[in-house]
């Protein structure tokens, strides 16, 4: 094999290896991007759930103290809608967390600091 043929073969091999590496890096970058988006969505949903939980507490307080009712149930008009919203958010959070884990995300990445 002539020297120029060896150089061409070396360059071709290098290009092939570079393409393979770039493909793998691109795949990993896409995975990290998807995980980042999911993490942001989970954090936003958790924040919404916290706000609704605080609202629920305020509605229970209003019903018991300010309106003077002696008890509150999950079917109380003031509670029912907010409780349903909290439960819906909980379901969405669980779905997003499961998706995050199936795409390679780690549980500790979702813990609040």
- Please indicate, yes or no, if residue 109 is contained in any of the structural domains: no
pLDDT at 113: 59
- Please report, in tens digits, the pLDDT of each residue of the chain (113 residues total): 666 666 666 556 655 565 556 556 566 667 778 888 899 999 999 999 999 999 988 888 888 888 888 888 888 887 899 999 999 999 999 999 999 999 888 888 888 65
Q: Can you read off the two tokens belonging to residue 106?
A: 């780690």
Does residue 42 lie within any of the structural domains? yes
Helix (H, G, I), strand (E, B) or coil at 1: coil
| Number of domains observed in the structure of the chain | 1
In-domain check, residue 112: no
In a domain, residue 6? The reply is no
Cα–Cα dist 12/6, whole Å = 10
| CA distances, 100 to each of 37, 67, 81, 92, 111 (Å) | 9, 43, 29, 12, 13
- Beta-carbon contacts of residue 6 (< 8 Å; ≥ 6 apart): none
| Residue 84 structural domain | 18-104
The whole-number pLDDT of residue 22 equals 54
CA count, 13 A, side-chain hemisphere, 35? 15
pTM above 0.85, yes or no: no
């Amino acid at each position: 094999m002539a020297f120029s043929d060896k150089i061409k073969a070396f360059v071709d091999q290098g290009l092939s290896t570079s393409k393979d590496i770039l493909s793998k890096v691109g795949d990993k970058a896409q995975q990290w991007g998807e995980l980042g988006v999911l993490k942001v969505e989970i954090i936003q949903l958790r924040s919404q759930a916290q706000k609704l939980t605080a609202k629920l507490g305020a509605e229970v307080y209003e019903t018991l103290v300010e309106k003077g009712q002696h008890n509150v149930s999950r079917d109380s008009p003031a509670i029912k809608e907010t409780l349903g919203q909290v439960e819906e958010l909980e379901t969405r959070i669980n779905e997003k967390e499961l998706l995050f884990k199936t795409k390679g995300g780690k549980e500790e990445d979702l813990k609040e600091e």
